[in-house]
Chains A and B, each alone.
Chain A
Amino acid sequence: MNMPRFWREKQGRYNLVGNRCTNCGTYYFPKRDICPKCHRKSIGKMEEVRFKGTGKVVSWTIVHDAHPDYKDMRPYIMAIIELEEGPRLTGQIVDCSLDEIHTGMRVRDTFRKLSEDGKDGVIFYGYKFRPVKE
C-alpha cells in the first residue's frame, strides 16, 4: 500500500476512531458518512467516536504463509475482533503465545508497527491487540 492511501485512513488506524449514528445508536468502524440502517435520516447525525479499544476474539488463525512485507513476523496471530461497542475488525494479536490464543479471549488495542518497510521505504503503524489479563 502506498503512503497517501495509508495516510488518508490514519486517524482510524492510529486512534481507533469511528462514528455512531445518533438516530439509531449503531457504532461504525471505519467511519461511515451515512448509516446503512437509517439512510437519509442519518445525514448530519453521524457523531465521531473514539472506541474504548476493548473487545473479544470472534475467530483467529496463525499465519504461516505471509505477504512479502509481513514475512518477518511469522508465525503471527490474525483475528476478527468484536469491539465492546459492537463493530468488528481484523487485526493481529500480539504479546500472546500461540497456545494461549482462543475464541472469546478478551483483548485491548495497542499501537504497533504493522509491516516492514515496503517498496516505498515507509513503515506503517496502527492498531494491534493484546490479551487483557483477567
Chain B
Amino acid sequence: MRDVYVIGAGTTRFGELWERSFRDIGIEAGIKAINDSGITGNDIDALYIGNMSAGAFINQEHVGALIADYVGLAGSLHIPATRVEAAGASGALAFKEAYLSISSGMYDIVVVGGAEKMTDIGDEMANYITSMAIDQEWETVFGATYASLQAMMARAHMERYGTTREQLGMVSVINHRHGALNPDAQFQREIKLETVLKSGYVAEPLRVFDMAPLSDGAAALVLASGDVARKYTDRPVKVKAIGQASDTISLHDRREICTMDSTVYAAKRAYDMAGMGPEDIDVAEVYDSSTIAEIMAIEDLGFFPKGEGGKAVEDEKIALGGEIPINTSGGLKARGHPVGATGVAQIVEIVKQLRGDADRRQVKDAKIGLAHAVGGSGATAVVSILEAEI
C-alpha cells in the first residue's frame, strides 16, 4: 500500500443555486480543486464521482462520464470516470475508491468529486427521493420518511439517556454559528435556540431546524501518491486511514436504534488503521443530517461516552474553542447537504483546517482531522482520518 495525499481541494457555494445546472457546479468544484493543486488535465489518471440520485433529481444518470466530459477530461484525454453511490456516504466512498486506486499503485493522480442538484424539483418530491435511501419495501411503503426514522432514534435516545429537546436544538444553534463563518455555506447567519424550538414539526420530536436542508452543491479533491504529491505542494495532507462499515437497511432490524453500529465499526477500523484513537482528533466533520444524528455521531465516534453527547453539546464542547470542534463548516445543517457532495465537502473542510486555511473558523494547531459520513438511516458509515504533514 502506497501513501496517499490530498493536494487540492475546492467547493462551490452550497445553497439553492437555481441559476446553475448540475454540470455547472460539477465543473466549478473540479476546476477549483485542480487549480488549487497545480496539476493540469494531462496529469490526471482517473476521476471518481459521488452522487446519490441524479436520475431521480434531474433525470440524468451516467454522471461520471458527464462530469468528465464537461471538465474536459473525456473527449480528448479519455480519462476513466466512475460514479459511486451509497446515499449520504456517496462522496466519502468515492474518496475511498480514489484512495484505493492510488495506494494500490494503479494510478498516481486522481480527482474525486461529489455533486447533487436537489432544488430543480419541489421540496416534497426531493424529500421523497432522499427517503429512497431507506427501505422502500418495509419502511417507506408503510408511511415512514427519512425524518421519521431520525425522530424515532431521537425519542429512544431521549428516553434512554435523558437527552433533552434543548440539547438537540443546541446542535443546530452551534452549526449555524459555525456556518456564519463559512462564505460557502448555505446559511450564514446565527440562530437562537428559540428559533429551533418554535419551528414547525417534521416528525415529532424533530422540527424543521433539526433537519439538514435540501441543497445544490459540489465539492472536489485532488489525490496523489507520496512521491508525486511533493512535486506539487509543500503542505500535503496525508490520508491516514479510511474505515467503512454496513448495517441492516431497515432501522428496525438493527441491534439497537440509539447507537449507530455502522459508525462504531467504521470508526474502530479507521482508528486501528491510523494507529490512533478519538483522543488524537483535533477537529471533525460529522454527519448531522439531523440534530440527533450529530449527538449519536459524537458518541459513536468515541469523542464522548454513550449517552453523554447531549450534555457535551449543551456545554458547547463541540463549538469552536471547545474541547473538540465539530462541524466547523456549519455541518450539513448550515453549510448545506447536497447529498452526494457532502462526503467530499466534509474532507475539503478538514483539509482547509489542517492546512491552516480556515480563516475565521480556524481551529488552532489542528494537526489531525476526521470526517464521518452516513448512508440512509445508518446502513453505511465511512470514517476518514487525515493528518497535516508539515
Which of A's residues lie within 8 Å of B, judged by CB? 1, 5-6, 9, 13, 30, 58-68, 70, 73, 75-76, 78-81, 88-92, 103, 114-115, 124, 126-128
- For B153, list chain A residues within 8 Å (CB): 59
Among the 9-residue stretches B14-22, B102-110, B250-258, the one with 4 or more Cβ atoms under 8 Å from chain A is B250-258
Residue contact A89 to B143, C-beta cutoff 8 Å = no
Residue contact A114 to B143, C-beta cutoff 8 Å = yes
Residue contact A66 to B155, C-beta cutoff 8 Å = no
Type the 1/0 row for B227-260, where 1 means its CB is closer than 8 Å to any CB of A. Answer: 0000000000000000000000011110001000
B201: Cβ under 8 A from any A Cβ: yes
Residue contact B148 to A63, C-beta cutoff 8 Å = yes
Interface size counted on chain B using CB atoms at 8 A: 35
**Distance from B163 Cβ to chain A, minimum over Cβ atoms (Å):** 13
Chain A minimum-CB-distance residue to B258: A59
Within 8 A of A (CB), among B309-330: none
Known contacts A63-B145, A65-B127, A80-B152; 13 additional CB pairs below 8 A are A1-B137, A60-B155, A61-B204, A64-B200, A64-B202, A64-B203, A65-B203, A67-B124, A68-B125, A76-B143, A92-B142, A126-B141, A127-B142
Which of B's residues lie within 8 Å of A, judged by CB? 124-125, 127-128, 131, 136-145, 147-148, 151-153, 155-156, 159, 200-206, 250-253, 257
Q: How many angstroms between the C-alpha atoms of A67 and B252 in the bound complex?
A: 20
- For B143, list chain A residues within 8 Å (CB): 63, 66-67, 70, 73, 76, 78, 92, 114-115
Q: How many angstroms between the C-alpha atoms of A30 and B127 in the bound complex?
A: 26
Residue contact B252 to A88, C-beta cutoff 8 Å = yes
Once A90-B138, A103-B155 are accepted as A-B contacts, the answer to whether A67 and B201 lie under 8 Å apart by CB is: no
Q: From B143, B148, B205, name the one whose CB has the most chain A CB atoms within 10 angstroms.
A: B143
**Distance from B53 Cβ to chain A, minimum over Cβ atoms (Å):** 15
- For A103, list chain B residues within 8 Å (CB): 155-156, 159
Chain B minimum-CB-distance residue to A101: B204
Residue contact A61 to B252, C-beta cutoff 8 Å = no
- Identify which of A65, A75, A88, A127 contacts B145 (C-beta below 8 A): A65
Once A30-B138, A78-B148, A114-B143 are accepted as A-B contacts, the answer to whether A65 and B156 lie under 8 Å apart by CB is: no
Residue contact A63 to B257, C-beta cutoff 8 Å = no
- For B125, list chain A residues within 8 Å (CB): 68
Residue contact A90 to B139, C-beta cutoff 8 Å = yes
- For B145, list chain A residues within 8 Å (CB): 63, 65-67
